[in-house]
Structure 1
Amino acid sequence: MRRPTAGAALALTTALVLTGTSVPASAATGPFDAFADQELTWGACAFPAQEGTVPAECALVTVPRDWAAPGNGRTLQVSISRVAASGEKLGSMLLNPGGPGGQGTSLPGAIAALQPQLHERYALIGMDPRGTGQEGGFDPETCEVPLDRISQRTDLDARDRSAESIAEHQKTPRAIAEACQSEALAPFITTWQTAHDMELIRLLLGEPKLDYLGYSYGTWLGAKYASLFPASTGKMVLDSSVDFQGRLQAAFEAWPPINQRLFEDTFLPWVTRQFPDDVGATPEEAAANWERGRAWFAANGVSPDDYDSAFVGLGSPFAWTLAALVLAIGVAGANGETPPLTESDLAPQLDTVSRERFGVPLSALTPQAAAKALADDPADYALVPTTRFAVACNDQPTRSAAWYKRLSDQQGPQFPLFGWQYGIGETCGFWSDAPRQQLPQLPAQVTGRILVVQSEFDPQTGYEQARSAVRAAPGVSLISVDDAPFHGQYALDGNPCVDGMVNVFLLHNSRPGSVTCPGIPLPGETEVFPVAGPVRTPAAARTATSAEVAPLPELRAALQEMISEANGPS
């Protein structure tokens, strides 16, 4: 049978979009031929619907294990979800929460509820990427790490630079790398493979173009999809961006400086404004008390590394509240007291965090109870998520363990919060497998369809990463969010400037140039306290409202915490 020409295939695809029918295999080409004729069977989703979300339906898609050899008979299944457009449909938008390894099938229902204008015009599509299992259903791929291969120490402190301490720290990342590389599926869990899964999903949905919203690692995935399939790429919003024109691993290597900056310049000033009687009245006092809390927790069975980690990756209000609680508890323990946090205006949020993280209400949270809950359990490392490490270490050539040790030596004195710890804990330093495919950079033909959104003090994808990507991809626009510290802005932070600009782009095809939005007040506050940082262009006006007045605040907070957690430190 003669294949249709490119023009005929496009016409066929467009016709099928209008009828809602899947694209048959004859409309696909190359590796997609054998998979594009499958029928999507939509039904109930395996995950429980969260209160306030729009109901979704789910389906399973069969994909080849290896898109480089799609005809070898070995296949996988990935789960997708759909929330249909409530009005006249513009297209289908795939959503990704990042990770690598975040499950995304519950995302459309939440985004649809938070952004009803978007829901009206787009079918929102979620995806549990290969290796992540099915949200609420079958389990994700995991690496089985022998417990006798990892450190059994519960007093690890990366500030200890002895040879014994360094070797002890490196046991766990070495064991994880060896275990994950021994998994048969690990070589096929990569961004290159997942981007091909996305292209198949586009074909099965019958869409001529795939629109996209991705957070954090999802910005890398979206940019690489656009690089591999530029003709299939629609509008893209890349929120909290890595440098998608550079190295993915560079985003992780930047964690020490960007977390030190957030801790010193925004978190400590905020926590002293909120809890001056518990942590200190000035950032300098709070920093000194933070050290006292560190020593107290260490004396009560909490690894100094684990204590430090409680203040790393503070990408959501939940994480800030938890860190404030840990700091206040540590200071109280050092003083032989219990902090009167129940009197704070943030007591309801503190109580929620206490119940979720420590298992007791705030009124019953003693320093000793907090220390017991924070103490490390080595058994947690028996199973680790394959996708997180396979993608991060498979996508591009990795640095050596020796290189990361030198990075730790360099970053530690400058960025002690996480600089000592990061380099000697990097799993990719022990990864020996070379990448199987090369990931291209964005071609000029797609840059005019891409909008990047980035907060100034994001501790998980630094502002400099997004700025570097935009500078290396002429034509991409950047919305900078001044004085904003959280990870994930659009639909999550309640910022009307950000949401308005993104919606105008997606709904009315009017993309802004590179502009600056004002941030919104931090938890418990009604005004923005400006901080000098990498955003050089001031916001046009400081009229952004507080996130508390945005609709569905509980759903918004839960979604932002989910995305922050999915993209947290390994």
Structure 2
Amino acid sequence: MRSSAVTVPVIVTALVLAVTTVPVRASTDPFERYAGQELLWGSCAFTPQPDALPAECALMTVPRDWAAPDAGRDLVVSVSRVAASGEHAGSVLLNPGGPGVQGTSLPGALAALQPELHQGRALIGMDPRGTGQEGGTEPEACEVPADRLSQRTDLDARDRSAGSIAEHLKLPRAVAEACQSDALTPFLTTWQTAHDMELLRMLLGESTLDYMGYSYGTWLGAKYASLFPRSAGKMVLDSSVDFQGRLQAAFEAWPQINQRMFEGSFVPWMTRQFPEVGATPAEAAVNWERAREFFVSAGTVPDNFDGIFTGMGNPLRWVLGALVFVLGVRGANGEIETTVTGSGLAARLDAAARAEFGVPLASLTPVVLANVLADYPEDYEYFPQTRYAVACGDQPTRSAAWYRRLSDRQGPRFPLFGWQYGLSEPCAFWSDAPRQELSVLPAEVVGRVLVVQAELDPQTGYEQGRSAVRAAPGVSLVSVADSPFHGQYAFEGNPCVDGMVNVFLLRNSRPGDVTCPGVPLPNETEVHPVPGPVRGAPVLTTAVAHPSLAALREAVRTKIGDAGPSMR
């Protein structure tokens, strides 16, 4: 606010200036303009998942740029809450990851899945800036005309010819240029969203804000605690990136961690559930290549086929992969009109076939599936703007030449996705430098941080979380042996993990570094150990409880798993 002008007699001007004139300065507190607003709670735009508890929602006004709150047009962020069922003892902000996944429906689901946590804590959700309003406005997107993209339907990153590589690079270059041309992109970063979180803490009236973040949400939570260490309460970082290092490193590790999970866990599971794909993992691996050849011959883009088997961080993706695998083997065997029946997974296979392929399982033959998987280019393609604004805008990026060399190195070792990833990363063509620097977790916060990490997670590799813990002495790590799934707390039905987290959040008792046993894979009753980076047997051997609210668990875990380096 500026002071009004005052007329001063000329004779005393010098004296007045010497005694009273002090420059009127604007407030240096960026929150001052926004902290006085009231959150008006009401109905939410989204439809809750069956069995989820009802939430209430509000809109929060934030500046476009927290570094210059008076410049530019304000933004609106949607938030939600499910009040504690008992006496209120604080709030827990939840984030499902991404970058760019909407989170306002998460509190209602988590409240139903974890009533013990819900009893004393209000659960808070947020659709981060750039993600729109869940159930209402769509997320921001980068629009790319089809003529900027390759029109070839035979793109195969295994083809290392100059023409193939040039065609592959069209997509990441076009996405980077489209996203950077949008004026909002520089403000869809972790630094900005962390400030939105701090404003939300103020408006909730909490002295500190507890936090539960999955996947990218671990990076967001750690950076919030770094920027606002006095405001950060207890932090649970589930399926973590290396929040002390580079965010982009989590994506660069996808070829390695997906190959490990695919060969060590998924393919052996397929031989147990669907012996027709092979009696041994080695035989199944050969038949997977035959399935690939069948679908490619029927018009499926080879890269797209490989993509079906990457980022398989939840049971739904395993079921989809199983369908494609089995029908591909049958197609390769000439059984082009057969369907999948008789499996203990039949109900889940049918649900997946209807949801993802538009036909019931009884009608899904190799020929039908091949037609569904065939690539038909659209006039325009839309790519998640927040995903690239964060991944490429938080920190300095690598060059296209660096990523090309990465592809050359990773391809021979991790052929499932290694050839493809280094040729598909838009950050390779990102030219804008970060506007703010993100610091590492300060020592005063580490005693309030708990990391939960699955051994075979194909989306945020175990080594990422372990590296962060080693670089932040004092942070605790709960490892989950033999688990290939992304997002552990509340969604696996694992009493060891859930108990560790709940005791930490509710009773202020943080475990040390411990290992929990995994839970059986879909349609199995025992855990099949897989060699991996977790050393030693689990220290806790609590029996695995049969998970209740299974449909809700799977729906939310699928939402959390909707993140990764793929762009379609």
2:291 aligned partner: 293
Stretches of 4+ aligned residues off by more than 6 angstroms: none
1:58 aligned partner: 57
Rounded to whole Å, the distance in 2 between the matches of 1:339 and 1:280 is 18
1:153 aligned partner: 152
Rounded to whole Å, the distance in 1 between the matches of 2:547 and 2:238 is 19
Contact in 2 for aligned 1:519/1:544 (Cα 8 Å)? no
Match for 1:457: what amino acid? L
Larger-gyration structure (1/2):
2
Matched, 1:564 2:541: no
Q: Secondary structure at the match of 1:231?
A: coil
C-alpha distance after superposition, 1:459-502 (max 9, x if no partner): 00000000000000011000000001100000011101000110
C-alpha distance after superposition, 1:295-319 (max 9, x if no partner): 0000000011011011001100110
C-alpha distance after superposition, 1:360-418 (max 9, x if no partner): 11111011111121222332852211101111000000001110000000000000000
543, 546, 550: which one pairs with 2:547? 550
2:514 aligned partner: 515
Contact in 2 for aligned 1:262/1:485 (Cα 8 Å)? yes
Rounded to whole Å, the distance in 1 between the matches of 2:492 and 2:283 is 30
1:330 aligned partner: 328
Q: Secondary structure at the match of 1:125?
A: strand
Contact in 2 for aligned 1:226/1:442 (Cα 8 Å)? yes
Rounded to whole Å, the distance in 2 between the matches of 1:272 and 1:51 is 33
Contact in 2 for aligned 1:151/1:378 (Cα 8 Å)? no
Q: Secondary structure at the match of 1:436?
A: coil
Rounded to whole Å, the distance in 1 between the matches of 2:512 and 2:143 is 47
**Cα shift at 1:136:** 0.8
Matched, 1:356 2:355: yes
1:140 aligned partner: 139
Match for 1:76: what amino acid? L
TM-score by length of 1: 0.93
1:416 aligned partner: 415
Q: Secondary structure at the match of 2:236?
A: strand
Query: For residues 170-209 of structure 1, what are the structure 2 equivalents within 5 Å?
Result: 170-209=169-208
1:14 aligned partner: none
Q: Secondary structure at the match of 1:479?
A: strand
Rounded to whole Å, the distance in 2 between the matches of 1:449 and 1:381 is 46
Match for 1:477: what amino acid? S
Range moving further from structure 2, 415-424 or 371-380:
371-380
Contact in 2 for aligned 1:460/1:568 (Cα 8 Å)? no
Contact in 1 for aligned 2:240/2:465 (Cα 8 Å)? yes
Contact in 2 for aligned 1:261/1:457 (Cα 8 Å)? yes
**Cα shift at 1:73:** 4.8
C-alpha distance after superposition, 1:497-532 (max 9, x if no partner): 000110000111100001000001000100001111
Contact in 1 for aligned 2:142/2:179 (Cα 8 Å)? yes
Match for 2:466: what amino acid? R
Across the aligned residues of Structure 1 and Structure 2, the Cα RMSD in angstroms comes to 1.3
Match for 2:144: what amino acid? V
Match for 1:476: what amino acid? V
Query: For residues 393-404 of structure 1, what are the structure 2 equivalents within 5 Å?
Result: 393-404=392-403
Q: How much identity, in percent, do the aligned residues show?
A: 71
Match for 2:238: what amino acid? D
2:8 aligned partner: none
C-alpha distance after superposition, 1:525-546 (max 9, x if no partner): 0000111110013202444426
The 1:519/1:568 distance shift into structure 2, 3 A limit, reads farther
Q: Secondary structure at the match of 1:211?
A: strand
TM-score by length of 2: 0.94
Matched, 1:306 2:297: no
Query: For residues 383-462 of structure 1, what are the structure 2 equivalents within 5 Å?
Result: 383-462=382-461
Rounded to whole Å, the distance in 2 between the matches of 1:233 and 1:553 is 32
2:162 aligned partner: 163
Query: For residues 493-508 of structure 1, what are the structure 2 equivalents within 5 Å?
Result: 493-508=492-507
Rounded to whole Å, the distance in 1 between the matches of 2:44 and 2:104 is 8
Rounded to whole Å, the distance in 2 between the matches of 1:29 and 1:482 is 49
Q: Secondary structure at the match of 2:213?
A: strand
Rounded to whole Å, the distance in 1 between the matches of 2:375 and 2:280 is 31
Contact in 1 for aligned 2:388/2:426 (Cα 8 Å)? yes
Range moving further from structure 2, 104-113 or 559-568:
559-568
Matched, 1:256 2:217: no
**Cα shift at 1:74:** 1.9
Contact in 2 for aligned 1:458/1:484 (Cα 8 Å)? yes
Rounded to whole Å, the distance in 2 between the matches of 1:447 and 1:541 is 24
Rounded to whole Å, the distance in 1 between the matches of 2:245 and 2:463 is 12
Which runs of 5 or more residues in structure 2 are unaligned? 2-26
**Cα shift at 1:104:** 0.1
Rounded to whole Å, the distance in 2 between the matches of 1:567 and 1:250 is 12
1:34 aligned partner: 33
**Cα shift at 1:281:** 1.1
Rounded to whole Å, the distance in 2 between the matches of 1:98 and 1:380 is 30
Q: Secondary structure at the match of 2:491?
A: coil
Rounded to whole Å, the distance in 2 between the matches of 1:530 and 1:29 is 56
Matched, 1:222 2:221: yes
**Cα shift at 1:341:** 2.5
2:314 aligned partner: 316
Match for 2:556: what amino acid? L
Contact in 2 for aligned 1:169/1:424 (Cα 8 Å)? yes
2:364 aligned partner: 365
**Cα shift at 1:54:** 0.5
Query: For residues 9-158 of structure 1, what are the structure 2 equivalents within 5 Å?
Result: 30-158=29-157
**Cα shift at 1:566:** 3.6
Match for 2:172: what amino acid? P
Rounded to whole Å, the distance in 1 between the matches of 2:541 and 2:271 is 23
C-alpha distance after superposition, 1:219-278 (max 9, x if no partner): 00000000000000000100000000000000000000000000111111000000002x
Contact in 2 for aligned 1:217/1:567 (Cα 8 Å)? no
Q: Secondary structure at the match of 1:105?
A: coil
1:530 aligned partner: 529
Contact in 1 for aligned 2:403/2:423 (Cα 8 Å)? yes
Q: Secondary structure at the match of 1:382?
A: strand
Match for 2:472: what amino acid? A
Contact in 1 for aligned 2:494/2:519 (Cα 8 Å)? yes
Rounded to whole Å, the distance in 2 between the matches of 1:506 and 1:455 is 20
Matched, 1:481 2:480: yes
Which runs of 5 or more residues in structure 1 are unaligned? 2-27
Contact in 1 for aligned 2:339/2:363 (Cα 8 Å)? no
Match for 2:280: what amino acid? T
Rounded to whole Å, the distance in 2 between the matches of 1:496 and 1:40 is 36
Contact in 2 for aligned 1:518/1:544 (Cα 8 Å)? no
**Cα shift at 1:568:** 6.1
**Cα shift at 1:551:** 1.4
The 1:567/1:162 distance shift into structure 2, 3 A limit, reads closer
Rounded to whole Å, the distance in 2 between the matches of 1:401 and 1:368 is 38
Contact in 1 for aligned 2:451/2:475 (Cα 8 Å)? yes
Contact in 2 for aligned 1:97/1:566 (Cα 8 Å)? no
Match for 1:123: what amino acid? A
